Amino acid sequence: MSTAADPALAPRLPDTLRLGPVHLTVSNLGGSIAFYERALGLQLHDRDGEVATMGAGSEDLLALVEESGAAPGGRHAGLYHFALLLPTRQELARAVQRLAGAGTRIEGASDHGVSEAIYLRDPDDNGIELYVDRPRDAWPPPRSAGERVEMYTIALDMKDLMREVEGEDPPPHAGPGLAMGHVHLHVGDVERALAFYRDVVGFEVMANIGSAAFVSAGGYHHHLGFNVWLGPDVKPLPPNTAGLREWTVVLQSAAEVAAVRARASAAGLEPTERDGGFLVRDPWETAVVFSVG
């Protein structure tokens, strides 16, 4: 894989990119379905044996695949968290109400400047972020050369957030505007990850703090983050381990998918055909699917 020396010549994913479903290995499908229904307000779209799809009533957001006895992820490459984007601040507050009603522990609550976010984990220790974006014209300007936005972490003002729904009872289901907003991965080397996700796939760098980088299409703050917080020697996720199976990038046309496939092949990778699109793996064997939708 080659590093793009001239940003003007670098490959670029289309601005219309969006994310599709995240596929997870879970150890107990029934228990995971119950968790996502009760705590997050997701709906079961379909269940076929050991596979279930869930979302907010329209497109699938999650695909859960049971592997009985799957061990927790531990210190491996792969998922740091997947992030569900809510359409309004009120919906984020309602999500917090649902978590409280389900007795689900919130692991963190942060203001990132570009967004406000709640963090938690599912029964298999898969990381989850629930967040709402601030308007783009309110995003903090970059402080470093070569970056396009500043993202910081300070404590979320929970009292102010919950005033959005004061006196309300939350609806049992998440609203139809829920979407997969971004995915954040553990990797072993940020520059090596950039050589794949920027120089081959075509994401643009929005911010790079050294131990983590955030990349996107269309000027979004990030569709993908990756960090080395588990150490530079992190290994791929072993078989029969709970965690990320694959995540999905949705493009508008077969030609757009073919362009990414051609770059992957030219870089010496081996794309695998997948339902009109293809699957390719990053240097730590984390799978990403490119599809048309």
Mean model confidence pLDDT for the chain: 95
- Residue 10's pLDDT is 80
Name which of 130, 18, 131, 126 is nearest 64 in CA terms: 126
pLDDT, average across residues 1-6: 47
CA pair distance 134, 1, nearest whole angstrom: 35
pLDDT, average across residues 166-182: 94
φ/ψ (deg, to 5) at 22 = -100, 130
Residue bearing the bigger pLDDT, 6 or 192: 192
CB 206 within 8 A of CB 216: yes
- Residue 239's pLDDT is 94
* Strand, coil or helix: 131: strand
CA pair distance 218, 141, nearest whole angstrom: 16
pLDDT, average across residues 2-21: 79
pLDDT band at 74 (very low <50, low <70, confident <90, very high): confident
- Residue 6's pLDDT is 55
Residue bearing the bigger pLDDT, 130 or 2: 130
pTM for this predicted structure: 0.95
pLDDT, average across residues 20-28: 98
Name which of 57, 71, 63 is nearest 22 in CA terms: 63
- Residue 7's pLDDT is 59
Neighbours of 209 (CB within 10 A): 14
Q: Which two tokens stand for residue 75?
A: 């210190």
pLDDT, average across residues 246-265: 98
CA pair distance 28, 194, nearest whole angstrom: 35
